[in-house]
Amino acid sequence: MKLQQLSLFLENRPGRLGAPLEAIAKEGINILTLSLADTAQFGILRLIVREWDKAKQVLEDAGWVVNLTEVVAVDVLDRPGGLAEALAVLEGAGLNIEYMYAFSLRRGDKAILIFRFEDPDRAIAVLLEKGLHVVDGDELLSVVSG
Amino acid sequence: MRGTTGIEFLGSDRFRTDATPINGSRTMPAQIHEARRQIEHRIWDPDAETLPRDGIEALQLERLRELVTRVARVPFYRDHFAHREIGPHSIRSLADVRRLPLTTKDDLRRQHPFGFLAVPRKALARIHGSSGTTGRPTFVAYTARDLETWSNLCARFLVAGGLRPEHTAQVAFGYGLFTGGFGLHYGIERVGAAIIPAAAGNTRRQIEIMRDLDPEVLICTPSYALTIADSARELGIDPRSLPIRFGHFGGEPWTEDMRREIEDQLDIAAFNNYGLSEVIGPGVSGECPERTGMHIQEDHFLVECLDPESLEPVPEGEPGELVISTLTREAMPLIRYRTRDIARLYREPCACGRRTTRMSRITGRTDDMLIIRGVNVFPSQIEEALLRVEGTTPHYLIEVSRPGTLDEVHVKVEIRPEIFSDRMDRMQALCERISREINTVAGIRAHVDLVEPRSIERFVGKAKRVLDRRNLGE
């Protein structure tokens, strides 16, 4: 049920974001979604890609420090309040979110939320119990590529 | 200038120079042209300061022999002398100083705190400490006569650089173990000028005091002078409108560019002086209005300029390490102390009338010590701090710059898998932790910059760990 997310350390200066993205593009690896957290001095690029192990190898070979993290994807209805309802469930269960990001699908009426939990297994159990739909890797790939 | 009694302190026959006070008898046009900054040539202790070369050297030789006798009370020197059968008889000319051993900071540390005392502990009148932050300070002891000497030495460079009994001087140096505050304080007092012991810090208050009390003279580090100018502008006060007419700056290396900045921003004449706590504190040398080097007080210090590798003297005018013998110190006399400071020496006469050797600004160090806002920092301390944070040491670089008026330190650390996290809070906590460790070990606030792998230049052999962008050369 968990997804593998790649994180990269980048210095916060012009041109630093493009280089790793080009490196994986060159290998024909498609990015499903990404998020960037930054300070004035550095950034953390988080990527969800189709072939995470290959992408990790490519990036590491090119000299980046890459970290692998398990995240949880949940789909919600792409309408006002969709995210808020999901968050209310998590909050009610006392689940702490380290960070999250979201994207909506090109087709259909769903949005995908990506969560980084301290304890992803417990989070998945709670989400399922509360009737939310946890999207696994294969499913995400199929919905994204349509 | 009325007759002051600047040389009465030499009460003992041993140190007597037989000078009579004729302060103010020498007046020549100075090279500072702006009327407000005009400083006339004056000499505090003319007989000592204008001795002809042969007189200076004869006095140095006599005092060097006395020094050799005096330091025989210090086990470090006694053992060395006994081994090599060295005594006052070994010193037949000043060049014979090279038969004597060198003394290093490490030697002082090994004898912590008072292994170098040449007088009984009860004879001490004051104890200062070096600004070193490597765990514990190196203590420096003074007898009452050492303090007298010291005040007089500070009086000499202060008078050379414009101080007169009718002036008021604001001292914005730290008062404490640091030798700057008290050294200058008693020098000013000796001259007979009024002192405002404002001490370091609280810049707004410094400016208020200046506006209330109209001091003509400012005493502080050169970078603090520029901080005062910045702070005045922030308060909407033109720094050039402040009452200060000239300043004596020291305690950290600075440049001619910085002098121009200080002089333009504050509309003052800025004078350089040099000293180090191990030998006495400020007062080893200072500038006259010619400002063509700092006059070394050679009746009290024998200064050599050596190639730091071969330890042979460098040709005159070439840069070398200053090595100082304290000819008249009583409590803690040192023979051939390696200052690690790089400068040039000039022996030709100065237009001011003094015949003493002059030294250039300090243009570098022979060790890798950095002086950051007046605090001595060794790169090894930064490394020690990084060692406390796992995974940070293989590749790092210390970058020192002076973007405005104050030194800034950036410690660049290459990111490695074991310290990288996808969580921003963890990454920020890492930076904070490194910064805290550096502060604990080295006593400075450093910016920690995490950088990408392989972005710090690799070296074959010894890694270059420090990049000093302050441009402190001449």
ipTM: 0.88
Provide, as residue numbers in chain A, all residues whose Cβ is less than 8 Å from the Cβ of B428. Answer: 39
The reported pLDDT for the residue numbered B472 is 65
Report the SS3 class of residue B349. coil
Same domain, residue pair A110 and A64: no
* CA dihedral of residues B208, B209, B210, B211 (deg, nearest 10): 50
The reported pLDDT for the residue numbered B136 is 63
Closest partner residue to A37 among B415, B420, B424, by Cβ? B424
A46 in contact with chain B, both atoms CB, cutoff 8 A:
yes
What is the least distance, in Å, from the CA of B415 to any CA of chain A? 7
The overall average pLDDT reported for chain A is 89
Cβ–Cβ < 8 Å for B353, B50: yes
Distance CA B129, CA B131 (A): 6
Distance CA B438, CA A98 (A): 29
Which residue of A38, A46, A65 is the best one to mutate when testing the B interface, meaning the one whose CB has the most B CBs within 10 A? A65
Between chains, do A67 and B422 touch, taking CB under 8 Å as contact? yes
Q: For B451, name the nearest residue in chain A, comparing CA atoms only.
A: A11
Q: How confident is the model at residue A145 (pLDDT cuts 50, 70, 90)?
A: low
B399 in contact with chain A, both atoms CB, cutoff 8 A:
no
B201 in contact with chain A, both atoms CB, cutoff 8 A:
no
Same domain, residue pair A54 and A83: no
Q: Which residues of B424-440 are buried (b: 16+ CB within 10 A; e: fewer)?
A: beebeebbeebbebbee
Provide, as residue numbers in chain B, all residues whose Cβ is less than 8 Å from the Cβ of A44. Answer: 422-424, 427
Between chains, do B452 and A37 touch, taking CB under 8 Å as contact? no
| Residue B1: other Cβ atoms inside 10 A | 16
Counting Cβ atoms within 10 Å, is residue A1 exposed (0-12), middle (13-18) or buried (19+)? middle
Same domain, residue pair A127 and A75: yes
Distance CA B290, CA B161 (A): 10
The reported pLDDT for the residue numbered B11 is 26
Q: For A117, name the nearest residue in chain B, comparing CA atoms only.
A: B423
The reported pLDDT for the residue numbered B89 is 94
- CB neighbours of B428 closer than 8 A, spacing ≥ 6? A39
What is the least distance, in Å, from the CA of A126 to any CA of chain B? 23
Structural domain of A108: 71-135
- CB neighbours of B34 closer than 8 A, spacing ≥ 6? B267
Cβ–Cβ < 8 Å for B431, B451: no
Out of A69, A92, A127, a domain closes at A69
Between chains, do A64 and B452 touch, taking CB under 8 Å as contact? yes
Look at residue A144 and tell me if it is in a domain: no
Closest partner residue to A9 among B420, B428, B449, by Cβ? B420
Report the SS3 class of residue B39. coil
Q: In chain A, what percentage of residues exceed pLDDT 70?
A: 97
Q: Which of A5-9, A95-99, B204-208, B361-365 has the lowest mean pLDDT?
A: B361-365
The structure's pTM equals: 0.69
Between chains, do A39 and B424 touch, taking CB under 8 Å as contact? yes
Nearest to B260, CA basis, from B272, B270, B246, B249: B270
**Farthest CA pair distance, chain A:** 45
- Of B456 and A21, which is predicted with more confidence? A21
Out of A50, A69, A88, a domain closes at A69
Looking at CATH, the fold of the domain delimited by B370-468 is given as GMP Synthetase; Chain A, domain 3 (3.30.300)
Q: For B428, name the nearest residue in chain A, comparing CA atoms only.
A: A39
Nearest to B1, CA basis, from B165, B157, B154, B149: B165
Provide, as residue numbers in chain A, all residues whose Cβ is less than 8 Å from the Cβ of B415. Answer: 9, 65
Between chains, do A9 and B428 touch, taking CB under 8 Å as contact? no
Cβ–Cβ < 8 Å for B402, B409: no
DSSP 8-state secondary structure symbol assigned to residue A96: P
Same domain, residue pair A7 and A30: yes
Domain residue spans of chain B: 35-365, 370-468
A42 in contact with chain B, both atoms CB, cutoff 8 A:
yes
**What are the distances in angstroms from CA B120 to CA A37, B124, B130, B143, B397?**
65, 8, 21, 10, 46
| Residue B106: other Cβ atoms inside 10 A | 9
Q: Which residues of B31-43 are buried (b: 16+ CB within 10 A; e: fewer)?
A: ebeeeebbbebbb
Same domain, residue pair A59 and A87: no
pLDDT for residue A102 is more than 80: yes
Distance, CA of B423 to chain centre: 46
Same domain, residue pair A63 and A79: no
Between chains, do B424 and A9 touch, taking CB under 8 Å as contact? no
Same domain, residue pair A89 and A63: no
Look at residue A94 and tell me if it is in a domain: yes
Same domain, residue pair A56 and A109: no
The number of C-beta contacts closer than 8 angstroms across A and B is 50
Q: For A10, name the nearest residue in chain B, comparing CA atoms only.
A: B452
Distance CA A48, CA A69 (A): 10
pLDDT, one tens digit for every residue, chain B (474 residues): 333 333 322 222 222 233 333 333 333 333 454 666 778 899 999 999 999 999 999 999 999 999 999 999 999 999 999 999 999 999 999 999 999 999 999 899 899 999 999 999 999 999 998 755 455 678 999 999 999 999 999 999 999 999 999 999 999 998 999 899 999 999 999 999 999 999 988 999 999 999 999 999 999 998 889 889 989 998 999 999 999 999 999 988 788 878 988 999 999 999 999 999 999 999 999 999 999 999 999 999 999 999 988 999 999 999 999 999 999 999 999 999 999 999 999 999 999 989 999 999 998 888 878 888 878 888 878 888 888 888 776 678 999 998 888 889 999 998 988 889 999 999 999 999 999 999 988 888 999 999 998 888 766 555 678 888 887 654
The reported pLDDT for the residue numbered B442 is 84
Same domain, residue pair A64 and A97: no
Out of A12, A41, A69, a domain closes at A69
Same domain, residue pair A60 and A97: no
The reported pLDDT for the residue numbered B34 is 62
Distance CA B38, CA B416 (A): 58
Distance, CA of B361 to chain centre: 10
Tens digit of each residue's pLDDT (9 = 90 or more) over A77-92: 888 888 888 889 888 8
Which residue of B410, B452, B454, B455 is the best one to mutate when testing the A interface, meaning the one whose CB has the most A CBs within 10 A? B452
Total tally of structural domains belonging to chain A: 2
The reported pLDDT for the residue numbered B342 is 92
Nearest to B336, CA basis, from B105, B151, B137, B128: B105
Task: State in Å, rounded, how far the first CA of chain B is from the last one.
Answer: 35
**What CATH number corresponds to the domain at position A128?**
3.30.2130.10
Provide, as residue numbers in chain A, all residues whose Cβ is less than 8 Å from the Cβ of B420. Answer: 7, 9, 65, 67
CATH of B35-365 given 3.40.50.12780, 3.60.10.10, 3.40.250.10, 1.10.10.10: 3.40.50.12780
The reported pLDDT for the residue numbered B396 is 84
- What part of A 11-40 touches B (C-beta under 8 Å)? 11, 16, 37, 39
Same domain, residue pair A60 and A11: yes
Provide, as residue numbers in chain A, all residues whose Cβ is less than 8 Å from the Cβ of B391. Answer: none
- Report the sign of the C-alpha dihedral through residues B456, B462, B465, B467, in that order: negative
